Amino acid sequence: MFDALSDRLRDALGKLTGRGRITEADVEVAMREVRLALLEADVNYRVVKDFVARVRERAIGAEILANVNAGQMVIKIVGDELTAVLGAGDRTFRLTGSPAVVMLVGLQGSGKTTSAAKLARHIVRLGRQPMLVAADPYRPAAVDQLRTLGKGLEIPVWSSPPGTAVLDIARAGIAEAKRIGRDVLILDTAGRLTVDETLMEEIRVLGGALQPSETLLVVDAMVGQESVTVAEAFREAVSITGLILTKVDGDARGGAALSISAVSGVPVKFLGTGERTDALEPFHADRLAGRILGMGDVLTLVERAQETFDEKQSEQLAQKLRKNAFTLDDFLEQMQQLKKMGPLGSIMEMIPGMGGAAKQAQQAVDRGDLTRVEAIIRSMTRHERQEPAVLNASRRRRIARGSGTSLPEVNRLIKQFGEMQRMMRQLSGGGRMPAIPGLRRR
């Protein structure tokens, strides 16, 4: 997400850097570009107007234009303002009450049911015991969808017979949660249009009666100018405590998040980053602003790595690298670990300066390049993996056949692994990440 926005912002602001002194006219030109970039990113036009006015006002301050690094400072101002808008409000995720009630609301198709399952999984990781409640008596098969997801996660799902009023479904759910000892209730409500007064009244009643500790508005990252109208309409009915921005793994520019936070001060609390139930990330405004401006997001990367890699393994790996004993087995293991961290493209996006390479890497994964690499290594004997030097032509042919790949592919992998070993020797840990074998440049 945010790729195109960051590209355009960088273009617009790039003209200001490396030029020393800049004039008011330069700032005007850049601001026009920034305006277009934000509008094309679906940031609400009123928000854009305010945003550009604020940046312009700060940038045209005499002390900045006189500065030799004026261009850099304008970029910093844009970054600050982005962080300020996205950082509005309190992003703590609260689970109070017994059971604590988390209610999800939103338009149809925004991803409420998938988000409910992801949130349940997140809550389990927080050490709590969630239960899912299917409070959508309207959409055909909505209950089935939640049931299937709950089953996969081994989390109980409560539903009532068709025709039950939602408040009764919720109350029965609470009673059931108490009975089976579940301390968090996630309420998956029906998708609704903001013009549908009956359904808006329904969540108003629900919110009033249950007093949820979190009421999260689920918003599709691809939503356009209407995001603000939609959020305001929901806010009028229930007190929204945060947003879940979904489908962030597409290439939408996420102007909705910026717009809603700017107008209502409601913070983004989570990002939905994929179809699997583990694809939910807590949201960090400053890091995202960095990503928008193409400055990477090292903090999230480090956290993800810490969650995935265990310390002992990392230490062993470092040892091996130092002793120059890194084998194809180790490489295979690294690949598995990397996979656990999430889609390769989204990992690389977090590395400063790798935004462009991220897309290529993800395409390589989608094409199945890494799976092929895995198959090649798995078709080798133990000995071959430890000592690739023994791989003569006949062994390579056998491996190509065994892995269902081709000889050139096997050759390429072995060659790239050799180069990687050489690079590691030179770097002996630290420094730039070596290229991953198997990733062809397109």
- Sites of contact with another protein (CB under 8 A): 35-36, 39-42, 44-45, 107-111, 138-142, 144-149, 193-196, 220, 222-226, 229-230, 233, 247, 249-253, 255-256, 275, 363, 366-368
Give the 3-state secondary structure of 81-142.
HHHHHHCCCCCCCCCCCCCEEEEEEECCCCCHHHHHHHHHHHHHHCCCCEEEEEECCCCCCH
Smaller CB separation from another protein, 67 or 360: 360
CB closer to another protein, 253 vs 396: 253
Of the pair 70, 361, the CB lying nearest another protein is at 361
DSSP secondary structure string, 283-324? --HHHHHHHHTT---HHHHHHHHHHHS-HHHHHHHHHHHHHT
Q: What is the CA radius of gyration of the chain?
A: 26
C-beta closer to another protein: residue 202 or 249: 249
Q: Which is nearer to another protein, 260 or 399 (CB)?
A: 260
Neighbours of 310 (CB within 10 A): 11
Q: Which is nearer to another protein, 286 or 374 (CB)?
A: 374
Which token pair is 413? 């992998």
Pairing of strands 214-220, 130-135: unpaired
Q: Measured between alpha carbons, how far is 44 from 79 in angstroms, rounded to an integer?
A: 18
How far apart, in whole angstroms, are the C-alpha atoms of residue 190 and residue 179? 25
Using the minimum distance from each CB to another protein, give the nearer residue, 365 or 420: 365
Judged by CB, which is closer to another protein: 42, or 214?
Answer: 42
Q: Enumerate the β-bridge partners of residue 270.
A: 244, 282
Q: How far is the CB of 144 from another protein (least distance, A)?
A: 4
CB of 268 to another protein, least distance (A): 17
CB of 127 to another protein, least distance (A): 26
Q: How far is CA 141 from CA 70, 109, 147, 162, 185, in A?
A: 57, 14, 10, 11, 21
> What's the burial of 91, exposed, middle or buried (CB within 10 Å: 0-12/13-18/19+)?
middle
Least separation, in Å, of the C-beta of 315 and another protein? 36
C-beta of 174 vs 263, nearer to another protein: 263
Shortest approach of another protein to residue 198 CB, angstroms? 11
Contacts of residue 296, Cβ cutoff 8 Å, sequence gap at least 6: 290, 349, 350, 351, 352, 353, 354, 355
Q: What is the rounded CA–CA span in Å between residue 122 and residue 269?
A: 12
Q: Cβ 350 to another protein, closest distance in Å?
A: 17
Find the shortest distance in angstroms from Cβ 93 to another protein: 24
Least distance (Å) from another protein to the CB of residue 318? Answer: 34
Nearest distance from residue 223's CB to another protein, in Å?
A: 5
- Residue (of 364, 370, 396) closest to 381 by Cα position: 396
